[in-house]
């Protein structure tokens, strides 16, 4: 039970309130929400007083239109209105009326609201909200509003609380474009510097930066400070300058490649990952070949790859015809995945024999007898569970391991201590 009087239940059939937190970026996310809502119809018929609500970006993007779909839905709340949730829920329940609040805010950052839970030794802290870039395929500026940054003091205080109360060892700083963070005289590099100086967190990561304003001083700080992890997720979206212009990404393929060259000149071992879209309106085969050639040139460690799908409210849907056939989108996506898988396999193979410091995050998904964690550059490793140590005791420890084998997605490792013992025994 929390201070608002709500108690969590794991069974929807026992609930008096069901809230679905949503995303509007991917089409499949919408489809899952529609399906989930439809599955609640029998619960609403059996319990009319049940309140069902949609929160987040999908709620913001579609608003009142959701009520017209015949779904068992009572409450629609956009991401800038969560503070009002208790009173909105009570209104929907007591007045038996549908409630919709999707007003965007110019200053809401939720700086005083800390997460209910963290993922083991990992924490994720939102440092800013909104976006000013207005990429043509993206709904975020319309669902989350313009950029506004939290005071650095509130971020540092939240992290220190999580370190003490939840034994957090690693934090990921979140923002649609973290490089745009600015609160009074503190920019993003200054914020990271304060976290390094004013907390004992063992590792700092961030996502996502925009290529058009990546500061050199941030890279220099990353190269200097071991606690500031050498992992950068930087969406490129396309390797064609013409497509990038239609996407309103305001950089060219040459500028992106130059930036990745700069990153690796300052941080040779940096882990670089990205997002890529295939089949954006107007994308020709030549445009797609330029994407393949950029991927080959940059050699990303990992890429998240998607076929284009129209999103309501975006300028791309309003201005461009979705003219790339679905089979062409999928063919290009599969070709891109094949190229990137080969690069990932090669780069992981190069890790064999190297010693890396791994922060233990939890048990492997495939076996409780194996654990997993990531290196500073973000590469995932799987290694044997420690004898006479529970995973709860081990999570958050940073241990040296030696990489012994690899696939395109995962590295397998052994503890350096185990290898040393084995070596001594063989003498």
**Residue 159 sits in a domain of what CATH number?**
3.30.750.210
Q: What is the CATH number of the domain that holds 414?
A: 2.40.50.140
Mean residue pLDDT across the chain: 87
Domain boundary pick from 208, 229, 250: 229
87 with 20, same domain: the answer is yes
Q: Is residue 40 part of a domain?
A: yes
122 with 180, same domain: the answer is yes
Q: 73 or 405: which carries more pLDDT confidence?
A: 405
The whole-number pLDDT of residue 109 equals 54
Q: What is the mean pLDDT of residues 340-351?
A: 95
Helices of type H across 167-233: 188-198, 216-224
16 with 57, same domain: the answer is yes
φ/ψ (deg, to 5) at 394: -85, -30
Q: What is the mean pLDDT of residues 311-334?
A: 94
Q: What is the mean pLDDT of residues 237-253?
A: 97
Q: At what angle do helices 285-298 and 253-266 cross, to 10 degrees?
A: 10
Q: Is the pLDDT of residue 320 over 60?
A: yes
378 with 345, same domain: the answer is no
Q: 107 or 313: which carries more pLDDT confidence?
A: 313
Q: Is residue 306 part of a domain?
A: yes
Between CA 54 and CA 59 the distance in angstroms is 6
The whole-number pLDDT of residue 107 equals 57
Q: Is the pLDDT of residue 421 over 60?
A: no
344 with 248, same domain: the answer is yes
183 with 264, same domain: the answer is no
Between CA 209 and CA 20 the distance in angstroms is 28
The whole-number pLDDT of residue 308 equals 95
| Whether 147 contacts 156, CB under 8 Å | no
Domain boundary pick from 182, 211, 229: 229
| Whether 349 contacts 379, CB under 8 Å | no
401 with 334, same domain: the answer is no
336 with 419, same domain: the answer is no
The whole-number pLDDT of residue 407 equals 87
The whole-number pLDDT of residue 5 equals 64
Side-chain-facing half-sphere of 50: CA atoms under 13 Å: 19
Residue whose pair of structure tokens reads 């063992």 in the numeric block: 202
Q: Is the pLDDT of residue 203 over 70?
A: yes
Burial group, residue 367, by CB count within 10 angstroms (0-12, 13-18, 19+):
exposed
Domain boundary pick from 101, 125, 147: 101
The whole-number pLDDT of residue 313 equals 81
Q: Which range marks the domain in which residue 399 is found?
A: 355-426
Q: Is residue 163 part of a domain?
A: yes
215 with 285, same domain: the answer is no
Q: What is the mean pLDDT of residues 289-300?
A: 98
How many domains does the chain fold into? 4
Between CA 49 and CA 17 the distance in angstroms is 9
| Whether 199 contacts 227, CB under 8 Å | no
The whole-number pLDDT of residue 54 equals 85
30 with 88, same domain: the answer is yes
245 with 330, same domain: the answer is yes
Between CA 126 and CA 266 the distance in angstroms is 27
């Amino acid at each position: 039970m929390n201070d608002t009087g709500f108690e969590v239940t794991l069974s929807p059939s026992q609930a008096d309130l069901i809230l679905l937190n949503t995303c509007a970026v991917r089409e499949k996310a919408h489809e899952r929400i529609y399906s989930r809502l439809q599955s609640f119809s029998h619960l609403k018929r059996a319990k009319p007083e049940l309140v069902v609500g949609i929160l987040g970006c999908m709620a913001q993007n579609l608003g009142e239109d959701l009520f017209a779909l015949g779904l068992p839905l009572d409450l629609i709340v956009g991401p800038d209105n969560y503070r009002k949730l208790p009173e909105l829920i009570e209104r929907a329940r007591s007045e038996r009326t549908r409630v919709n609040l999707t007003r965007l805010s110019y200053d809401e950052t939720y700086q005083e609201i800390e997460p209910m839970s963290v993922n083991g030794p990992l924490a994720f802290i939102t440092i800013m909200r909104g976006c000013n870039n207005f990429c043509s395929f993206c709904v975020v500026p319309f669902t989350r509003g313009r950029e506004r940054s939290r005071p650095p003091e509130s971020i540092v205080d939240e992290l220190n609380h999580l370190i003490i109360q939840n034994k957090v060892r690693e934090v990921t700083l979140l923002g649609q474009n973290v490089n745009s963070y600015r609160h009074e005289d503190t920019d993003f590099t200054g914020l990271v510097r304060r976290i390094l100086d004013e907390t004992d967190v063992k590792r700092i990561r961030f996502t996502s930066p925009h290529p058009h304003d990546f500061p050199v001083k941030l890279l220099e700080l990353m190269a200097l400070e071991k606690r500031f992890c050498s992992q950068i997720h930087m969406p490129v979206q396309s390797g064609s300058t013409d497509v990038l212009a239609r996407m309103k990404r305001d950089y060219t393929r040459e500028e992106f490649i130059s930036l990745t060259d700069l990153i690796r000149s300052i941080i040779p071992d940096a882990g670089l990952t990205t997002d890529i879209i295939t089949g954006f309106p107007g994308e020709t085969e030549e445009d797609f070949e330029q994407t393949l050639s950029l991927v080959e040139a940059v050699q990303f460690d990992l890429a998240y790859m998607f076929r284009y799908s129209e999103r309501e409210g975006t300028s791309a849907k309003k201005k461009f015809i979705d003219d790339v056939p679905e089979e062409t989108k999928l063919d290009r996506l599969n070709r891109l995945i094949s190229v990137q898988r080969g690069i990932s396999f090669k780069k992981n193979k190069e890790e064999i024999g190297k010693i890396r410091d791994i922060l233990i995050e939890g048990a492997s998904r495939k076996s409780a007898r194996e654990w997993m964690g990531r290196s500073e550059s973000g590469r995932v490793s799987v290694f044997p569970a420690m004898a006479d140590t529970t995973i709860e005791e081990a999570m958050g420890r940073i241990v040296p391991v030696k990489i012994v084998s690899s696939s395109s997605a995962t590295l397998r490792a052994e503890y350096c201590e185990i290898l040393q013992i084995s070596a001594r025994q063989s003498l």
